[in-house]
Chain A
Amino acid sequence: GAVVSQHPSRVICKSGTSVKIECRSLDFQATTMFWYRQFPKQSLMLMATSNEGSKATYEQGVEKDKFLINHASLTLSTLTVTSAHPEDSSFYICSARKTGSETQYFGPGTRLLVL
C-alpha cells in the first residue's frame, strides 16, 4: 500500500505558458500533501504544504501566485506553474501523508523543462 502517482512524468513547454501537475494518493487518504522541488545533485526543497479543503502554506521565498496549489479532495492535489520561465525548469516531487500517520510517501516526480 501507500502508492502516490504523479502526472505527467515529463513535460516540455514554451516560456509563458502554464503547466499543471497532478499528485494522487492511490490507495490511501491524505489530509496533507506536500510539493517539493529538487535541483540536480541537491536534496529536496519544500515549496508548500497543502491541506484538503484549505489554502496551501508556502515556504519562504516561494511565490504563491506563480505556483498555484489546489487540494480539492483527500486523494488529489495539483500544482500549476503559471507563466513558466526557463528558471522554473526543475524536478517537482509531491508527497502525501496518510491521515493519522507521520510517514510521507513520495510520488515518482515530474521533470519540467521550459524552453
Chain B
Amino acid sequence: EDQVTQSPEALRLQEGESSSLNCSYTVSGLRGLFWYRQDPGKGPEFLFTLYSAGEEKEKERLKATLTKKESFLHITAPKPEDSATYLCAVRSNQAGTALIFGKGTTLSVSS
C-alpha cells in the first residue's frame, strides 16, 4: 500500500536556526514527489516537484532533495515568515492521478 509519513509533526526553530523536514514514502512506482506550503485558512502553495533519486531543487531558503525512500526539505536560516505547515505528497503508478499526502509538519520560527 502506498504510504507517506512526515516527521516531525511540529518543529520550533529560532530565526536563523537551519533544519530539515523529512518525508518518507513507500510507493509502487514513483511518478513524482511534491512539496507544498500551507498557511492557516489557505490552500496549499506549490513549492517543488521531484521525479527521481538524486534530484535537488532550490528556492530562496528552501532546498528539496530526493532519495529512493525519502525526501528532505532543508530550511536554511529560516525567518518568521517561513512559519507554516509543509505538506509532502506523492503520485504513484498505483494511485492513478491522485496524490497521497502526508500529515504535514507544522513549522514555527520565532524571532
Contact = CB atoms under 8 A, between A and B. Distances in A.
Interface of A: 2, 4, 6, 32, 34, 42-44, 46, 49, 91, 93, 95, 97, 102-109, 111
B31 interface: yes
Interface stretch (B20-28, B64-72, B73-81, B91-99): B91-99
A44 B46 contact: no
A106 B38 CA distance: 10
B46 to A, nearest CB: 6
Given A34-B98, A49-B97, A105 B41 contact: no
Contact of B104 (A6, A43, A102, A103): A43
A111 B34 contact: no
25 contacts: A2-B46, A4-B43, A6-B43, A34-B98, A43-B101, A44-B44, A44-B87, A46-B99, A49-B96, A49-B98, A91-B41, A93-B43, A93-B44, A102-B31, A103-B34, A103-B49, A104-B34, A105-B46, A106-B43, A106-B44, A106-B45, A106-B46, A108-B42, A108-B43, A109-B42
Interface residues of B, number: 22
Interface of B: 31-32, 34, 36, 41-46, 49, 51, 87, 91, 96-99, 101-104
Contact of B87 (A43, A49, A97, A108): A43
Given A93-B43, A111-B41, A102 B103 contact: no
Nearest to A32: B97
B40 to A, nearest CB: 10
A6 B52 CA distance: 32
Contact of B32 (A34, A42, A102): A102
B43 A107 contact: yes
